[in-house]
Structure 1
Amino acid sequence: MANFAKPSAPRFTVEVHQNAFLPEGGRDVHAIVTVTSTGGATATRSVGRDAAVVIMVDCSGSMEYPPDKMRGAREATAAAVDTLRDGTSFAVIAGTHVAREVYPGQGRLAVAGPETRAQAKEALRGLRSGGGTAIGTWLRLADGLLRRSPAAIRHGVLLTDGRNEHEDPAVLRATLDACAGRFTCDARGVGTDWEVKEVTGVASALLGSADIVADPAHLTEDFTRMMENVMGKEVADVSLRLWTPVGVEIQYVKQVAPTVQDLTGRRTAAGPRAGDYPTGSWGDESREYHVCVRVPGGAVGQEMLAARATLVLPDPVGAGGPAGGPPDPLSQGLVRAVWTDDPAASTSISPQVAHYTGQAELAQAIQQGLEARKLGDVDGATARLGRAVQLASASGNADTARLLAKVVDVVDAAAGTVRLKAKVADADEMTLETRSTQTVRVKKT
């Protein structure tokens, strides 16, 4: 493990957890790469001028039914504006089948301070519902506003209560592809009439969080917490760079904590035998990544470097912008492969690898089980959700276990024996699906 961060910057560390031993001829190497950011300015000064935030509020006709949705959205957005630190650039967008600037308008971003906060909250009082839903238009306007800002941290917050019915799905996909890497975005669905895959798709593509706020009364609490998290971010556009020797192939790269996120297809070339995987913005936090590489089969006693994992910035810390000079290495760790004829050594599985493999399977089992349930496949849904209960129980994922218990009757958690409930509230099913990718950390011994 090495740490190259400058004293004035947040300190990044990389730790690699793996069983490096393979049987003779073994090829697949698994490792959990733990990345932690601590200290630096995060703990001592506000983000201020280094951040730009655009809040996108659904104002389609359905937001008026019931009326507390629109009222809750206005109050929550006002609370988010109040949470902005002085110097933060910001704007508010009203989203329907078109996108409209609510504040400050004229293609500009305001700078947070007592006066602009008061003006923004006054403008929010005029928000009214009416029209359709075209999320891509909201994101394109947000992208245009954020691209005008020199801030390093560029963030969007998107709230919707309905389905993206007034826009071709291909248009939304193209918009997400265009916005990826330019800003991060947290997405929230309020009520129970929205499409989980659309909201989680926005968050996944833009490296943000997704969640359900079934009761509009809880929007203010959620928006305040979200904005506090954004204000805690300090370093943007960090990438996990993997370098591999000749003959080594990367099978996949997945974030596995705090949520499951497959990054394999997001690789961008970074020189000979190296590729960068985006990780977004960081504050004081820790995340874990599952890396699997395939090495040439080796003989007993042979050892090789299978991969080198390095945290890099596209521009040196403090350079004042998201693009520019040579990458700045923050920290690195090494993934090794050692061939042995000791079966005990080669068959042992790293506790971290075993745990997060199970967490990824848990997320998949929930999603497959809920899909089977929607299709009326009782046996398939029972089998997959039973497996999910078993995995949640074994890994100590109590939050997911509680959500599963609202969808199935648990007969034997350890064995994964369950019965589908005859009636399930929409909010309970959508909450389970939306939070299916949330994981728990490996238990420390």
Structure 2
Amino acid sequence: MANFSKSNVPQFSVDVYQNEFLPEGGREVNAIVTVTSTGGGTSGSALTGASSGPAPLPGQAPAAAVVIMVDCSGSMDYPPTKMRNAREATAAAIGALRDGTAFSVVAGTHVAKDIYPGNGRLAIADPATRAQAREALRKLSAGGGTAIGTWLRLADRLLNTADEAGGGVPQIRHGILLTDGRNEHEAPEDLRASLDAAAGRFTCDARGVGTDWEVKEVTGIASALLGTADIVADPSGLSADFTQMMENAMGKEVADVALRLWTPVGVEIKYVKQVAPSVEQLTDRRTEVGPRAGDYPTGSWGDESRDYHVCVQVPQAGIGQEMLAARVSLVLPDPSGGAPQTLSQGLVRAVWTDDMTASTSINPQVAHYTGQAELAQVIQQGLDARKSGNLDGATAKLGRAVQLAAASGNAETAKLLAKVVDVVDEATGTVRLKAKVAEADEMTLETRSTKTVRVKK
């Protein structure tokens, strides 16, 4: 395991958990890769209005750039408190910006409008610009439709101006997006094209307020842009949520980190997915970077730890043989186009044995996260079955979810499931669908279905 250290940049470590032993003829190798970053210069110091960390020098890109996209469509006026809560939440998020952070506020309807600073560029956070931005928020009013792709395209253009200021210096580029409705005023393929264009250029947290928005739309935005998704069913909770999101964004210190997988000849990658703190499929996001090597995006990092499940298929080999099945590296691109920096590395191995006990034991980390991934999947399948009227299918899938949540100690998900089903026996997954379920409860379960818990130490 190698480490990378530089002042003000977190140190990264990679730990690999696996059972490397395979029976004769065995070909599938599973490993959980835990990536931890610690000791960056500014993590957790985003206090309201605080100046933590150096402000950028003239001609230098700011360390972070953030665009807040606020839904201002007509439905934000029902009830009128919703728009007021959105204004207050945006003001709270602006208050949590670190001095020297570049920022902008976009009003989103069927078109996107840069309402602060309003000149097609970003403002630099200080007491004066924060006050000006709060003043500009007072003029926000509801009216018009919803075309989220236009909001994302404007955010991308604005964030790009921060890069230009610093000659393409890599930095944290982040969006926060709030919507209360469905994306009705553009075609789904237009939103998809906007997400494809923005992927890898900035990360984005997405929030749905109230219960009139589409869960798969909001979670799809966050997934494509490597951010978080959540529901704020009661608009009065927006300020606390926005403050927390901004503080998390301010805690990020290194952007564009990739998980690089190198495999020997004959080894095939079956899948790569993030499994903690949430399940995120990365297999299809691979970028080829040379012979038998590919990069999977992980976004921005502060002081945190995440787990990834890597599954590869190795060629058949005889008893007693062993091989390197994959080399996992964490890499940071060089802004000037040179070789990327390797932040840390770990190895996945395969050893063929005739010891049945060794080859049939499942690594506890692999077993746990296989269960957590199944938990996310059966919740989605169960809720989809319930919506389509397949009540037997819904009962079976949600029963399995209750069983998995209980077995893995995922208490939060268990609590959310109990609002949708009556639990008869959690150990066997015996449940009854509730006759009446509050829409907010069902949407909360669906939105948070991919959140996982880590292995109990």
Q: TM-score, normalised by structure 1?
A: 0.97
Please state if 1:28 is matched with 2:41: no
* C-alpha contact 1:268 1:276 (8 A) present in aligned 2: yes
* C-alpha contact 2:424 2:430 (8 A) present in aligned 1: yes
Partner Cα separation in structure 2 for residue 115 and residue 128 of structure 1:
23
Deviation per CA, 1:36-87, whole angstroms, max 9, x where unpaired?
A: 0000313485375200000000000000001111000000000000000100
Please state if 1:298 is matched with 2:314: no
SS in 2 for 1:439: coil
Q: What corresponds to 1:202 in structure 2?
A: 221
Please state if 1:148 is matched with 2:161: yes
Amino acid aligned to 2:380: Q
Q: What corresponds to 2:291 in structure 1?
A: 272
Q: What corresponds to 1:9 in structure 2?
A: 9
Partner Cα separation in structure 2 for residue 79 and residue 100 of structure 1:
20
Partner Cα separation in structure 2 for residue 61 and residue 418 of structure 1:
41
User: RMSD across aligned C-alpha pairs, in angstroms?
Assistant: 1.0
1:405-444 to 2 correspondence within 5 Å?
405-444=418-457
Partner Cα separation in structure 2 for residue 162 and residue 110 of structure 1:
29
Query: What is the deviation of 1:7?
Result: 5.3
Deviation per CA, 1:106-157, whole angstroms, max 9, x where unpaired?
A: 2110000000000000000000000000000000000000011126100000
After TM superposition, which residue ranges in structure 1, 4 or more long, deviate above 6 angstroms? Answer: none
Amino acid aligned to 1:54: V
Please state if 1:234 is matched with 2:253: yes
Amino acid aligned to 1:40: G
Amino acid aligned to 2:23: P
* Structure 1 unmatched ranges of 5 or more: 316-321
SS in 2 for 1:149: helix
Q: What corresponds to 2:69 in structure 1?
A: 56
Alignment partner of 2:193 out of 149, 153, 174: 174
Change (3 A) 1:83 1:8: closer
Partner Cα separation in structure 2 for residue 360 and residue 8 of structure 1:
34
SS in 1 for 2:22: strand
Change (3 A) 1:47 1:93: farther
Query: What is the deviation of 1:5?
Result: 3.1
Query: What is the deviation of 1:270?
Result: 1.1
SS in 2 for 1:10: strand
* C-alpha contact 2:257 2:331 (8 A) present in aligned 1: yes
* Structure 2 unmatched ranges of 5 or more: 46-51, 56-61, 164-169
Q: What corresponds to 1:339 in structure 2?
A: 352
Alignment partner of 2:343 out of 326, 330, 340: 330
Partner Cα separation in structure 1 for residue 359 and residue 7 of structure 2:
40
Deviation per CA, 1:227-271, whole angstroms, max 9, x where unpaired?
A: 000000000000000000000000000000000000000000111
Alignment partner of 1:256 out of 260, 271, 275: 275
SS in 2 for 1:5: strand
Query: What is the deviation of 1:426?
Result: 0.4
Q: What corresponds to 1:357 in structure 2?
A: 370
Amino acid aligned to 1:406: K
* C-alpha contact 1:10 1:42 (8 A) present in aligned 2: no
1:366-385 to 2 correspondence within 5 Å?
366-385=379-398
Partner Cα separation in structure 1 for residue 9 and residue 90 of structure 2:
31
* C-alpha contact 1:47 1:232 (8 A) present in aligned 2: no
* C-alpha contact 2:9 2:253 (8 A) present in aligned 1: no
Q: What corresponds to 1:318 in structure 2?
A: none
Partner Cα separation in structure 2 for residue 123 and residue 4 of structure 1:
43
Q: What corresponds to 2:234 in structure 1?
A: 215
SS in 2 for 1:40: coil
SS in 2 for 1:129: coil
Partner Cα separation in structure 2 for residue 424 and residue 325 of structure 1:
55
Q: What corresponds to 2:150 in structure 1?
A: 137
Query: What is the deviation of 1:302?
Result: 0.2
